[in-house]
Amino acid sequence: MTTIDKKTSASGATSATGAPLLEVRDLHVEFHTRDGVAKAINGVSYSVEAGETLAVLGESGSGKSVTAQAIMGILDMPPGRIPKGEILFHGEDMLTMSAEERRKIRGRRIAMIFQDALSALNPVLSVGYQLGEMYRVHLGLSRKEAKARAIELMDRVKIPAAAARVNDYPHQFSGGMRQRIMIAMAMALEPDLIIADEPTTALDVTVQAQVMDLLAELQREENMGLILITHDLGVVADVADKIAVMYAGRIVEQSPIHELYKRPAHPYTRGLLDSIPRLDQKGQELYAIKGLPPNLMKIPPGCAFNPRCPKARDICRTEVPALVPVTEQDGGELPGRGSACHFWKETIHG
């Protein structure tokens, strides 16, 4: 039910501005290192609407975090370089903006939640000070007002006894509470879009469930867009609306969330799903994707997944497959689905 509500409100927001909240078009990012050029992102396109959650799934080195850093404008340049691509926020290309204009967006309109809250927070400043900083720097509030707002925020993310704990330092909080503070900080200026980079990876399962629920609830209340970066197919299963699977700097599959688990249309996604042991039954030997993720300095020609793919044929070694729409066997539309596999038809339809 909630997804339907979200969809309608999302389309409402789109029609008002005419453009999606965020649209990434054919983004390329490369890093110039001593040993050569590492092509971290090779043409990524995706979009997020207000009130929508996009999960970006990938293993280490797939480019999921680099894409987020490029959107936030926190890529180290050099060695990073964006040779090509557009990042449209409300229809405006952020890559051509001045540093001044970008700074106005960063934190206020697009905020980010990092994986490791302990290293993302300053250990020598109290959490109240760090939360209040958002208001002092961006809105010019006084220290006193900022602190009052910080307490409100801590209440909002359900930190018990917020008023008493506002002067505590990050190390005095548990992992789950620290991640709540990170969420509070991202929420502070009511941004339009939040990018959460592995927000629950460092947390225990029972706490992970609490934090994911909180994030989803706040997003619903504020009708924000949310990009959820993760390597865990389980975490995103019931919070995301749609998902993009990345491999070697490209999107290999995109899909509405439920569809993906039911019928993957790319051999890599299928391999990932098959290689996870199930909680509710004891399986035999696990399916394992053979080989290793590619070296970004030497991405294999053709489809980057071909050396590990059980279905690879000659065309896979020479031609890079484009991300094409996926349809039913009878040609019926499957909205929102795409696969970058030459043989997606046999992958999805068996």
Question: Does residue 217 belong to the site contacting other proteins (CB under 8 A)?
Answer: no
Q: How far is the CB of 292 from other proteins (least distance, A)?
A: 5
Identity of the residue, 122 or 275, whose beta carbon is nearer to other proteins in the bound complex: 275
Q: Which residue has the tokens 């959820």?
A: 228
Among 288, 330, 332, 335, binds other proteins (CB under 8 A): 288
CB within 8 A of 260, min separation 6: which ones?
Answer: 243, 245, 253, 269
327: helix, coil or strand? Answer: strand
Q: Tell whether residue 2 is a contact of other proteins (CB under 8 A).
A: no
The string of DSSP codes covering 103-162 is HHHBTTTEEEE-S-HHHHS-TTS-HHHHHHHHHHHHH---HHHHHHHHHHHHHHTT-TTH
In whole angstroms, the minimum distance from the beta carbon of 143 to other proteins comes to 30
One symbol per residue from 291 to 320: x for binding other proteins (CB under 8 A), - otherwise; what is it? -xx---------------------------
Instruction: Name the residue among 335, 320, 322, 329 with its Cα closest to residue 347.
Output: 329
Q: Which stretch binds other proteins (CB under 8 A): 6-14, 102-110, 116-124, 278-286?
A: 278-286
- Out of 257, 265, 303, 341, name the contact with other proteins by CB under 8 A: 257
Q: How far is the CB of 262 from other proteins (least distance, A)?
A: 7
Residue listed under structure tokens 């290293």: 119
Q: Which is nearer to other proteins, 73 or 336 (CB)?
A: 336
Taking only Cα atoms into account, the Rg of the chain, rounded to an integer number of angstroms, comes to 21
- Interface with other proteins includes 161 (CB under 8 A)? no
**Cβ(54)–Cβ(244) below 8 Å:** yes
Query: In whole angstroms, how close is the CB of 310 to other proteins at the nearest point?
Result: 13
Q: In the bound complex, what is the minimum distance in angstroms from residue 61's beta carbon to other proteins? A: 9
Question: Using CB under 8 A, which residues numbered 99 to 158 contact other proteins?
Answer: none
For residues 43 and 271, which CB has a smaller minimum distance to other proteins in the complex?
Answer: 271
CA distance 292 to 281: 28
Q: What are phi and psi of 217, to 5 degrees?
A: -65, -45
Site for other proteins in 8-67 (CB under 8 A): 59-60
**To the nearest whole angstrom, how small is the minimum distance from the Cβ of residue 233 to other proteins?**
4
Choosing from 7, 25, 90, 231, the residue that interacts with other proteins (CB under 8 A) is 231
For other proteins, the closer CB: 287 or 345:
287
Q: What tokens appear for 219 in the block?
A: 């997003």
CB of 24 or CB of 257, closer to other proteins:
257
* 196 vs 230: CA distance, rounded Å: 9
Report residue 185 CA to chain centroid gap: 18
Residues 6+ apart with CB under 8 A from 259: 334, 336, 337
| Residue whose CB is less far from other proteins, 146 or 154 | 154
DSSP of 174-219: -HHHHHHHHHHHHHTT--SEEEEESTTTTS-HHHHHHHHHHHHHHH
Contact track, other proteins, 167-206, x by CB under 8 A: -------xxxx--------------------------xxx
Closest contact distance (angstroms) between CB of 78 and other proteins is 24
Closer to other proteins at the Cβ: 193 or 289? 289
Residue that is written with structure tokens 């489809």 in the block: 303
Q: Which is nearer to other proteins, 2 or 96 (CB)?
A: 2
Number of neighbours of residue 171 by Cβ within 10 angstroms: 9
Find tokens 């040993």 and name the residue: 35
Among 18, 282, 332, 350, binds other proteins (CB under 8 A): 282
User: Where do contacts with other proteins occur on this chain (CB under 8 A)?
Assistant: 59-60, 174-177, 204-210, 213, 231-235, 237-238, 257-258, 261-262, 271-273, 275-280, 282-283, 285-290, 292-293
